[in-house]
Amino acid sequence: MPASMPRTQLIDFLPDIYRSFLPGFFEQPMAEERHATCASCPMCPPAEPDLPPDAYFNPSTKCCTFFPALANYSVGGLLIADTGEGAEGARRVRARIAARIGVTPAGVLPPARVLLLQRASRQAFGRAESLVCPYLDRERGACTVWAHREAECATWFCKHNQGADGRAFWKQLRDYLVLVHVTLSTWTMRELGIDAERIAAGFGPRIDSLDARDLDDRPPRDDEYLAMWGHWAGREEAFYRAAFDLVRGLDRSRFEALVGIDHTIALDRLQRRHATLRSPRLPDRLVRNPALRAHVLPDGSRVFASEDAGETTHLRRELVRLLDLFDGQLTNDEVKAKVLAQTGVRVGDSFLLALYQHRILIAP
């Protein structure tokens, strides 16, 4: 999802509030996903489309067919920055608070009906008007809550420099951030006096038991809403701002004391995936991925779609022919020698690595 500033470290990809307390690991270098060029979105149809219309995203929504769950402190941050650039985001989140739909002490969450639709219609992602994000400024094609974006929006890219390895890294970062959101919003709720039994019961929309209010996008009953908010009912904005102030005051040692072993495990997993990006390893033998789906273009080139990589790769006709030489028996060096002898073409390891990372070739 869209970004505007040059980013070089992992922390640059996240909202500023995390800068003062996330672990030192987040100062590691991180490259932009240079193929996810939001200003000229590669997922939207070009002037002369090669692929069937359904293969492309809707240019007026792009990938923002998603309803984010904004943690309580993120909502507070949006409300505080309610002038200049932040004014529209503050106005939109304030309107949601007034409507009381998905408005909880944990944060401003997607309505159950929308969440159900999102989960049941993966193919509609990037395409359905009815799923467009309420925080997308469609005239400007801009996110109005970017400064406090949630985990999915901070980590989702349509294309990855390093294919499946990049995708695995960003997915793990998303899971890590969800853990951080949940921990910090739970901590702030407790600090601000939300009833412990109510916190334990959870606030997320229950999509297996929707009632008429959920289906009709109506707020919860007054008694339910009051029970959820306790003495903060009617002062929700003040609550969110107080949650933001608490999180803004964290430093690394206080954060580490709050997050515990689940955070350590999530960070270990993130570091492992980051190490794979920094030092990728090419298997000695490769084979064409049997699960690839291919769309043949009029010039004989192909667009391959790999579930593992989660994106498409375009290969020229002469390169497509090379793929079948990788049979899982010959080593890569033997295949390279064979290609050189037959065609005079020298295949480099960086090219093989790209084919492997995009799961066009896989380990046998």
The residue among 332 and 357 lying less far from ligand SF4, judged by its C-beta, is 357
In this structure, are residues 243 and 148 in contact, taking their beta carbons and an 8 Å threshold?
Answer: no
Per CB under 6 A, 13 contacts ligand SF4: no
- Binds ligand SF4 (CB under 6 A): choice among 14, 38, 115, 347: 38
- Determine the size of the site formed for ligand SF4 (CB under 6 A): 23
Per CB under 6 A, 131 contacts ligand SF4: no
DSSP β-ladder status, 287-288 and 103-104: unpaired
Bridge partner residues of 137 (DSSP):
142
DSSP β-ladder status, 287-288 and 361-362: antiparallel
- Binds ligand SF4 (CB under 6 A): choice among 15, 68, 220, 310: 68
Per CB under 6 A, 66 contacts ligand SF4: yes
Burial of residue 122 (CB within 10 Å: 0-12, 13-18, 19+) is exposed
The residue among 145 and 267 lying less far from ligand SF4, judged by its C-beta, is 145
Among 153, 201, 195, 141, CA closest to 177? 153
Tokens for 200, please give them: 């334990």
Q: How far is the CB of 37 from ligand SF4 (least distance, A)?
A: 6
The residue among 2 and 220 lying less far from ligand SF4, judged by its C-beta, is 2
Tokens for 180, please give them: 């951080």
Question: How many angstroms separate the CA atoms of 195 and 244, rounded?
Answer: 19
- Binds ligand SF4 (CB under 6 A): choice among 13, 73, 157, 326: 157
Per CB under 6 A, 36 contacts ligand SF4: yes
76 CB contacts (<8 Å, ≥6 apart)?
240, 241, 242, 243, 244, 245
Tell me which stretch binds ligand SF4 (CB under 6 A): 94-102, 145-153, 227-235, 355-363: 145-153
**Containing H/E element for 147?**
none
Q: How far is the CB of 47 from ligand SF4 (least distance, A)?
A: 17
- Three-state DSSP at 20 gives coil
Tokens for 16, please give them: 């500023």
Q: How far is the CB of 265 from ligand SF4 (least distance, A)?
A: 27
- Binds ligand SF4 (CB under 6 A): choice among 97, 101, 131, 158: 158
Q: Which residues bind ligand SF4 (CB under 6 A)?
A: 1-2, 36-38, 41-43, 57, 62-64, 66, 68, 133, 135-136, 143, 145, 149, 153, 157-158
